[in-house]
Amino acid sequence: MSKDAKHKHTDVGTAFGIDIGGSGIKGAPVDLGSGEFVRDRVRIPTPQPATPEAVARTVAEVVDSFDLDKDVPIGVTFPAVILHGVAQSAANVDDAWIGTDVAATVGAATGRRVLAVNDADAAGYAEVVYGAARDVPGVVLVVTLGTGIGSALVVDGVLVPNTELGHLEIDGHDAESRASDAARDREDLSFAQWAQRLQRYFSVVENLFWPDLIVVGGGVSKKHEQFLPLLDLRTRIVPAQLRNAAGIVGAARLAATGGRV
Three-class SS of the chain? CCCCCCCEECCCCEEEEEEECCCEEEEEEEECCCCCECCCCEEEECCCCCCHHHHHHHHHHHHHCCEECCCCCEEEEECCCEECCEECCCCCCCHHHCCCEHHHHHHHHHCCCEEEEEHHHHHHHHHHHHCCCCCCCCEEEEEEECCCEEEEEEECCEEECCCCHHHCEECCEEHHHHHCHHHHHHCCCCHHHHHHHHHHHHHHHHHHHCCCEEEEECHHHHHHHHCHHHCCCCCEEEECCCHHHHHHHHHHHHHHHCCEC
Whether 1 is in a domain gets the answer: no
- Check whether residue 108 and residue 153 sit in a common domain: no
The arithmetic mean of pLDDT across residues 34-59, rounded, is 97
Whether 246 is in a domain gets the answer: no
pLDDT band for position 126 (50/70/90)? very high
pLDDT higher than 90, residue 4: no
Residue 6 has a pLDDT of 40
- Check whether residue 165 and residue 64 sit in a common domain: no
> Cis link prior to 211 (omega < 30° from 0)?
no
> How many domains, the chain?
2
- Check whether residue 217 and residue 191 sit in a common domain: yes
Residue 2 has a pLDDT of 34
pLDDT higher than 50, residue 5: no
Whether 123 is in a domain gets the answer: no
Q: How far is CA 166 from the centre of its chain?
A: 14
pLDDT higher than 90, residue 11: no
Which one has a higher pLDDT value, 224 or 6? Answer: 224
- Classified as helix, coil or strand, 184 is helix
For residues 251 and 259, is the Cβ–Cβ distance under 8 A? Answer: no
- Check whether residue 232 and residue 160 sit in a common domain: yes
Whether 127 is in a domain gets the answer: no
Whether 2 is in a domain gets the answer: no
- Check whether residue 79 and residue 161 sit in a common domain: no
pLDDT higher than 80, residue 19: yes
Contacts of 257 (CB under 8 A, 6+ apart): none
Mean pLDDT value across the chain: 94
3-state secondary structure 233-259: CCCEEEECCCHHHHHHHHHHHHHHHCC
- Check whether residue 148 and residue 108 sit in a common domain: no
Strand partners, 158: 155, 260
Cβ count within 10 A of residue 42? 20
Whether 125 is in a domain gets the answer: no
The arithmetic mean of pLDDT across residues 232-258, rounded, is 96
The four Cα atoms 221, 227, 233, 237 give a dihedral, to 10 degrees, of 20
Residue 259 has a pLDDT of 74
Residue 196 has a pLDDT of 98
pLDDT higher than 80, residue 8: no
- Check whether residue 112 and residue 177 sit in a common domain: no
- Check whether residue 14 and residue 87 sit in a common domain: yes
- Check whether residue 22 and residue 51 sit in a common domain: yes
Residue 261 has a pLDDT of 67
Q: How many helices, marked H, and strands, marked E, lie in the chain?
A: 7, 16
Residue 173 has a pLDDT of 98
- Check whether residue 217 and residue 139 sit in a common domain: yes
Residue 129 has a pLDDT of 96
pLDDT digits (tens, 9 = 90+) for 196-235: 999 999 999 999 999 999 999 999 999 999 999 999 999 9
The arithmetic mean of pLDDT across residues 239-255, rounded, is 96
The arithmetic mean of pLDDT across residues 116-135, rounded, is 97
Residue 258 has a pLDDT of 84
Whether 235 is in a domain gets the answer: yes
Q: What is the domain range of residue 18?
A: 8-118+251-257
The arithmetic mean of pLDDT across residues 51-64, rounded, is 98
Nearest alpha-carbon partner for 166 in 196, 197, 189? 197
CATH of the domain at 105: 3.30.420.40
pLDDT band for position 91 (50/70/90)? confident
Which one has a higher pLDDT value, 3 or 74? Answer: 74
Q: How far is CA 115 from the centre of its chain?
A: 14
Residue 225 has a pLDDT of 98
Whether 126 is in a domain gets the answer: no
- Check whether residue 14 and residue 113 sit in a common domain: yes
- Check whether residue 87 and residue 139 sit in a common domain: no
pLDDT higher than 70, residue 107: yes
